[in-house]
Chain A
Amino acid sequence: MTSTLKVQGLRVEVSGKEVLRGLDLEMSSGEVHVIMGPNGSGKSTLAHALSGRPGYRVLDGSVTIDGIELLTLTPTERARHGLLLALQQPLEVPGVRPIDLLAAAGADVRDLRERMREESLNVELRPEVLDRFVNVDLSGGERKRAEMVQLAILRPKFAVLDEIDSGLDVDALGAVARRLALSTTQWGCGVLAITHFRRLLQELTPTMIHVVSDGRVVATGGPELAEVLERDGYEPFRVARH
């Protein structure tokens, strides 16, 4: 079944400042949408607002998956409706084990350890790393691979990736990108990737690229848009504030 994620007129305030100023976006299962834009354009705010992070105040707009409004739901309910956020800097949760997190998140507990092991190997992560507490004593690369293991076990309808490629070496980036690409065919995961860099796109072919500036989508196009950005930068896409 094809699902649709729809963001309409989303306005979000952080620390008293309106960062998203009417953002629109629509995507379907199995698609890869990439959001690019200069620092401060609101890219990360979009990711956090979608998952209901404390401190992100929605002023207006709507976010739906298959017509179900997410913005009135708790972060837990949003996740249970198929939205998963992978963070730029996955948080440490001392004392909590990944396997307990996944079981509590609703993963099928049968063979869970074995499936975690397989999924670790898929992203070239040593399975023992997941015996540690969530993200505690993991390197930046290990954390992001660990987020991919969560993704693979929880199988969300839509995965939102907040600059998951920053601070990764080429090997880790490749592993993450390949895992995401596989998820689009494996269970039709829709991938919304927020990135500064084009290199993620070498192994993860985008369906669409959206350029965000000043809290709005200012341009949308195919993969060729990434090349334009690479060549000309964001300047041509900037819009004047009003």
Chain B
Amino acid sequence: MLGCARYTAMVPKTMKLFADSASSFIVNQPDAMERRRAWSAFESVGLPTTADEVWRYAPLRDLDLDSYRVPDAPATAPDTHFATMLASRAGLVVRVVDGFCVSTGAPFDGVEVELIETIGSISGVDFIDHYAGDTFAVLNGALSPSTTVIRVAPGVVVDRPIVVVNSSNCSASFPRTQIVMGRGSSATVVEYFEGGDQALVVPLSEYAIGDAASLQLITYQRLSPSAWHVARTTGFLGRDARMRQAVIGFGGHYNRSRNDAEMLGSGAENELRTTFLGSGDQVHDFRTHQFHKAARTRSTLLSKGAVADQSRSVYTGLIEIEKGAKRTDARQTNHNLLLSPAAHADSVPNLDIRENDVVCAHASSVGPLDEMQRWYLESRGVTRNDAERLMIQGFFYEMLTSLPTELAGLVESDVTSVLSTLERVLS
């Protein structure tokens, strides 16, 4: 896989050209005032430095904002074969190019797709206030062309998956998605990201899961290894709501994925699985915040990944339990696999618990594959290399179990093709 050596600047950077392109984009938008406010918030926070704890591991000296331009229209590019195949297996396909929603798909019973041009957050708090301090989130606020809102009506069970194909063909894109699940509804959504050659991709997604609703979500990130990908997702869960989220990260020179869940209603349940494979000089930076605000809420988090070559990974997870969130059950597990002596993995689990009547556990490990599982495969005649390849591939396959079989099969074969290009790092 290609390394990315084009960023070498060590001198203080300007971002005049980027700011000019942002300014000419903003001026044409209906809510230019609000966007300017977001842009000011971005400017006042500024770009992070590695002195900020939460950016400690990011290769920030490689980030040159002035090499990016904010597009005022989507660039056209043909769908990749994989995107076409993915779409053909979906019940509803929403297409987003360079952050611009270009198709909301064919009408679909019980599901409505709408574009909202103003900045808004499902949190109920003003967008800029809610994301204050998060540079890239407020940048998304200023520069996302519109919010793609997917609404599933109350009580509707969507039996075929909804696929959101995000392709990035320009140098910068800021997709924003909201999924709103009505009370008692259920759906499976795939958010897929591709393209992003030498690009900055900053997606922001919010999910509102109504009382007793259920959302299965797969985020599949297949951007170019030269991309800067800084993503943030937040789930807001009502009473007895359920969100199962799987986040798969392959691409990105820097792949940052922050996945939060706020369990607001009692009995809410969040299952989050993240996985990645690092190669070259990639940095995979996964951050999670499981926020238990109500009683009898549950969260299960499993982050599992492998780093090869000189790549590195960071897992930083916080479980926060509010006073009064009695009988909460929160579990966090992080396993990292080192595939080369120059690769590196950090694991930073954190707990912030303000209630006594809870069960809370976290575990993390950095090490080799399970020796007994590997022996079992070998004892059937599988070579050691193949056994390890199957087991690493298994990290990803495990993420896909909530998908319908034929869609899972498609993504699995894509995963396998990515892994086969990395054969050398796995042997």
Q: Which residues of A contact B (CB under 8 A)?
A: 51-54, 74-76, 78-80, 84-85, 87, 90-97, 100-102, 104-106, 131, 133-134, 150, 154
A54 near B377 with CB under 8 A, answer no
Q: Which residues of A contact B391 (CB under 8 A)?
A: 93, 95-96
B384 near A95 with CB under 8 A, answer no
Q: Which of A84, A91, A97 has the most CB of B within 10 A?
A: A91
Measured in the bound complex, the distance between the Cα atoms of B251 and A160 in whole Å is 45
A93 near B377 with CB under 8 A, answer yes
A97 near B397 with CB under 8 A, answer yes
Query: B372 to nearest A CB, angstroms?
Result: 6
Q: List 26 A-B contacts (CB under 8 A).
A: A52-B375, A52-B379, A75-B378, A75-B379, A76-B379, A76-B382, A76-B384, A78-B379, A79-B378, A80-B381, A84-B380, A85-B379, A87-B376, A91-B372, A91-B373, A91-B376, A93-B394, A95-B390, A95-B393, A96-B390, A96-B393, A96-B394, A97-B397, A101-B377, A101-B382, A104-B383
- 0/1 string, B362-373, CB within 8 A of A gives 1: 000000000111
Query: A88 to nearest B CB, angstroms?
Result: 13
B380 near A53 with CB under 8 A, answer no
6 cross-chain pairs, A with B, having the tightest CB-CB distances, nearest first: A95-B394, A79-B381, A105-B381, A75-B378, A91-B376, A104-B386
Closest B-chain residue to A83, C-beta based?
A: B379
B381 near A133 with CB under 8 A, answer no
Q: Which residues of B contact A92 (CB under 8 A)?
A: 373
A53 near B379 with CB under 8 A, answer yes
Query: A183 to nearest B CB, angstroms?
Result: 16
Q: Which residues of A contact B157 (CB under 8 A)?
A: none
A76 near B383 with CB under 8 A, answer yes
Measured in the bound complex, the distance between the Cα atoms of B342 and A96 in whole Å is 27
Q: Which residues of A contact B371 (CB under 8 A)?
A: 54
Measured in the bound complex, the distance between the Cα atoms of B371 and A53 in whole Å is 10
Q: Which of A100, A131, A134 has the most CB of B within 10 A?
A: A100
Among candidates B373, B378, B396, B397, residue contacting A76 with C-beta atoms closer than 8 Å: B378
Query: A78 to nearest B CB, angstroms?
Result: 8
Measured in the bound complex, the distance between the Cα atoms of B382 and A150 in whole Å is 13
Q: Which residues of A contact B386 (CB under 8 A)?
A: 104
Query: A1 to nearest B CB, angstroms?
Result: 20
Query: A192 to nearest B CB, angstroms?
Result: 15
Closest A-chain residue to B384, C-beta based?
A: A76
B398, CB-defined interface residue at 8 Å: yes
Q: Which residues of A contact B390 (CB under 8 A)?
A: 93, 95-96, 100-101, 104
Q: Which residues of B contact A101 (CB under 8 A)?
A: 377, 380, 382, 390
- With A76-B384, A100-B390, A105-B381 given, name 15 new contacts (CB 8 A): A76-B381, A84-B380, A84-B381, A87-B376, A92-B373, A93-B394, A94-B394, A95-B398, A96-B390, A96-B393, A101-B377, A101-B380, A101-B382, A106-B381, A154-B381
Measured in the bound complex, the distance between the Cα atoms of B378 and A48 in whole Å is 13
B395, CB-defined interface residue at 8 Å: yes
B387, CB-defined interface residue at 8 Å: yes
- Report B387-416 residues with CB < 8 Å from chain A CB: 387, 390-391, 393-398, 405
- On chain B, which size bracket covers the interface? 20 to 34
Q: Which residues of A contact B373 (CB under 8 A)?
A: 91-93
B394 near A154 with CB under 8 A, answer no
Measured in the bound complex, the distance between the Cα atoms of B393 and A85 in whole Å is 25
- Report B15-67 residues with CB < 8 Å from chain A CB: none
Measured in the bound complex, the distance between the Cα atoms of B371 and A134 in whole Å is 16
A54 near B375 with CB under 8 A, answer yes
Measured in the bound complex, the distance between the Cα atoms of B381 and A150 in whole Å is 11
Q: Which of A54, A92, A104, A150 has the most CB of B within 10 A?
A: A104
Q: Which residues of B contact A51 (CB under 8 A)?
A: 379
Q: Which residues of B contact A85 (CB under 8 A)?
A: 379
Q: Which residues of A contact B397 (CB under 8 A)?
A: 95-97, 133
Query: A72 to nearest B CB, angstroms?
Result: 15
B379 near A133 with CB under 8 A, answer no
Closest A-chain residue to B399, C-beta based?
A: A95
Q: Which residues of B contact A90 (CB under 8 A)?
A: 376
Query: A67 to nearest B CB, angstroms?
Result: 20
B375 near A95 with CB under 8 A, answer no
Known: A52-B379, A91-B372, A101-B377. A133 touches B398 (CB 8 A): yes
Measured in the bound complex, the distance between the Cα atoms of B375 and A215 in whole Å is 24
A93 near B384 with CB under 8 A, answer no
Known: A53-B375, A75-B375, A96-B377. A133 touches B394 (CB 8 A): yes
B380 near A150 with CB under 8 A, answer yes
Closest B-chain residue to A93, C-beta based?
A: B373
Closest B-chain residue to A90, C-beta based?
A: B376
Measured in the bound complex, the distance between the Cα atoms of B394 and A75 in whole Å is 21
Query: B65 to nearest A CB, angstroms?
Result: 39
Query: A61 to nearest B CB, angstroms?
Result: 19
Q: Which residues of B contact A80 (CB under 8 A)?
A: 381
Measured in the bound complex, the distance between the Cα atoms of B397 and A105 in whole Å is 19
Closest A-chain residue to B304, C-beta based?
A: A95
Closest A-chain residue to B390, C-beta based?
A: A96
Measured in the bound complex, the distance between the Cα atoms of B218 and A18 in whole Å is 51
Known: A54-B371, A76-B381, A76-B383. A93 touches B398 (CB 8 A): no
Measured in the bound complex, the distance between the Cα atoms of B379 and A131 in whole Å is 21
